[in-house]
Structure 1
Amino acid sequence: MPATMDEVHQADEALFRAVDAAIDAAVLATGDKLRSLGVPASPHDYFSDAALRHLFLRLCGADGQTFQDGDPEVAWKILYAGRNVARRWERQQRWTATVRNRPERPEDIAKDQSEGQELARSAESFALRAVLRTLIEHARTTDPQIDARLRAMVEAHAAEPTEGSQAERVFIETARNYISTFTKTPH
């Protein structure tokens, strides 16, 4: 039997109460320790932020410890949804875009510039990935070995003699991950 909207609402309310209770419990357990460490946020804000970060990573499919392997498309959808909510609140409060976009502090200006550059890089990366996927799909029709050849290029680079630095290992692993997004694994 499908749940009624009232039952769904009651389940949501129970969840919200449980999250609030968990944050309150964390504040009671370690709030004083946070203050003694000089954490500038209030313990409630600190733990609320931590819960939000945890849920964001979980929704994006990322590892909660390393922040790796999340789905950028899901992350962008969540961020854009948040942006749309903020804009609705601005309209409700009769804020103008000039007020929202007028940074007053140098660190705000730097943050806005950095976010703009990151957004541009993300858009460029998305477009390039879309083009590469399309080109590789097209190439597969005439070259069934393209996936193996692309993976072999990374493995050939990995086999080159190096000092074996941490940066080189990260480079190789990152290259493997990127290649895997464009290639099909053999069955």
Structure 2
Amino acid sequence: MSTRNSLSPSMEEKYSDIKAQNERRMMLAIKKSLSDAYVQTTNELKAVGIDEDAPPQDYYIALAHQQLYALLCGANPETFEGGDPQIAEFVIKNAQNIREHYWLKDTE
């Protein structure tokens, strides 16, 4: 199996372009799925005569975040069993670094 380190500069650029394009597609699909879940829940609640609001879109984002976090840590996303605490700690520190670098720098 070849690695990116063995690619020529032009192939490295193609690799990066393909990867970036598919990352964008993935994120668009995730965003669409989150929106669809909200709309579908709203429609289904109305269809059965439930006069309650669907959970806000942030609920679905938080749910996806929690399940993806579990997957990233090697845990079962439904039971949270089997996760690697070292990976969990790394992911948490990464999130804290993003917070500090991008969101706290203007408040200091």
Provide TM-score, normalisation by structure 1: 0.44
Between the two proteins, what is the percent identity of the paired residues?
A: 23
Q: Which runs of 4+ in 1 moved over 4 A?
A: none
5+ residue gaps, structure 1, are 97-187
Structure ID, larger Rg: 1
- Report the AA paired with residue 14 of structure 1: R
Deviation at 1:31, TM superposition (A): 3.6
* CA–CA distance in structure 1, aligned partners of residues 53 and 64 of structure 2: 20
1:49 aligns with 2:65: no
Q: Report the structure, 1 or 2, having the larger helix content.
A: 1
Counterpart of 2:81 in 1: which secondary structure? coil
Residue of structure 2 equivalent to 1:159: none
Deviation at 1:68, TM superposition (A): 1.2
**Which is further off, 7-16 or 23-32?**
23-32
RMSD: 2.1
Provide TM-score, normalisation by structure 2: 0.73
Q: Cα deviation per residue 1:110-145 (whole Å; 9 max; x = unaligned)?
A: xxxxxxxxxxxxxxxxxxxxxxxxxxxxxxxxxxxx
Residue of structure 1 equivalent to 2:5: none
1:6 aligns with 2:17: yes
Contact 2:34 2:61 in 1 (8 A): yes
1:76 aligns with 2:72: no
Report which structure shows greater RCO (CA 8 Å, sep ≥6).
2
* CA–CA distance in structure 1, aligned partners of residues 28 and 54 of structure 2: 29
Match of 1:36 among 52, 64, 70: 52
Residue of structure 2 equivalent to 1:146: none
Q: Cα deviation per residue 1:55-89 (whole Å; 9 max; x = unaligned)?
A: 10000011111111110100100000000010012
